[in-house]
Amino acid sequence: MILSDLTAQMSAQRLRTSGLHLRMGNIVVRIRSTLPAIIDGINTLYGDYPLARDEEFTDFHIELDRPRNLRGLVRPQVRFLLDGRAPFLPLPLPQAMPMFEWGLNWCITHHIHSYLMIHAAVVEKNGRAVMLPAPPGSGKSTLCAALVLRGWRLLSDELTLIDTTNGAVVPMPRPISLKNQSIDLIGSFSRDAVIGASVRDTVKGTVALMRPPAASVKNSLLTSTLRWIIFPQFLAESDASLTNIAKSRAFMRVADNAFNYGELGPTGFTVLADAIESATAHDFVYSKLEEAIDCFDRLESSP
Amino acid sequence: MFWKIVSSGVIGNALEMRGWDAEYVIFHAGSGDTHLINHGAQFILQCLRIGMAETNQLVDQLAQHSGCEADDDLRTLTRETLLDLERLGVIEQHAK
- CB nearest A270 (choices: B16, B19, B23): B16
Q: What is the CA radius of gyration of chain A?
A: 19
Residues 6 or more apart whose CB falls under 8 angstroms from that of A9 comprise none
Cβ contact (<8 Å) for B24 and A247?
no
Q: State the average pLDDT for chain A.
A: 95
Chain B interface, best mutation among A244, A254, A261, A269, by max B CB count within 10 A: A269
Task: Express each pLDDT in A131-176 by its tens digit.
Answer: 999 887 788 999 999 999 999 999 999 999 999 999 999 999 999 9
For residue A72, what pLDDT band results from cuts at 50, 70 and 90? low
Cβ contact (<8 Å) for A266 and B16?
yes
What string of DSSP letters covers chain B?
-EEEEPP-SSSS-SEEEEEETTEEEEEETTTTEEEEEEHHHHHHHHHHHH--B-HHHHHHHHHHHHTS---HHHHHHHHHHHHHHHHTTSEEEE--
ipTM score of the complex?
Answer: 0.91
- Picking from A205, A113, A107, A119, the residue whose alpha carbon sits closest to that of residue A158 is A119
Residues 6 or more apart whose CB falls under 8 angstroms from that of A83 comprise A60, A61
Task: Express each pLDDT in A81-127 by its tens digit.
Answer: 999 999 999 999 999 999 999 999 999 999 999 999 999 999 999 99
Spatial separation of the C-alpha atoms in residues A38 and A126, rounded to whole Å: 35
Above pLDDT 70, what percent of chain A? 99
Helices (H), A22-95: 36-45, 71-74
A26 to each of A116, A165, A167, A218, how far by Cα in Å?
A: 15, 15, 16, 12
CA distance B38 to chain A (A): 10
Task: Express each pLDDT in A192-217 by its tens digit.
Answer: 999 999 999 999 899 999 999 999 99
For residue A286, what pLDDT band results from cuts at 50, 70 and 90? very high
Cβ contact (<8 Å) for A248 and B36?
yes
Spatial separation of the C-alpha atoms in residues B92 and B96, rounded to whole Å: 12
Cβ contacts from A onto B, under 8 A: 44
A123 to each of A82, A106, A197, B74, B87, how far by Cα in Å?
A: 29, 21, 24, 48, 40
Q: Which positions 22-41 of A are in contact with B (Cβ < 8 Å)?
A: none
Instruction: Name the residue in chain B with its Cα closest to that of A256.
Output: B34
With beta carbons under 8 A apart, name residues in chain B contacting A255: 34
Task: Express each pLDDT in A80-89 by its tens digit.
Answer: 999 999 999 9
Predicted pLDDT of residue B1: 80
Predicted pLDDT of residue A230: 97
- Picking from A167, A160, A251, A157, the residue whose alpha carbon sits closest to that of residue A207 is A157
Cβ contact (<8 Å) for B25 and A251?
yes
With beta carbons under 8 A apart, name residues in chain A contacting B8: none
Residues 6 or more apart whose CB falls under 8 angstroms from that of A55 comprise none
Chain B interface, best mutation among A116, A248, A249, A272, by max B CB count within 10 A: A248
Cβ contact (<8 Å) for A255 and B34?
yes
For the segment A248-271, the average pLDDT, to the nearest whole number, is: 96
Task: Count CB-CB contacts under 10 A for residue A235.
Answer: 14
Can you list the residues of chain B whose pLDDT is less than 70? 10-12, 96
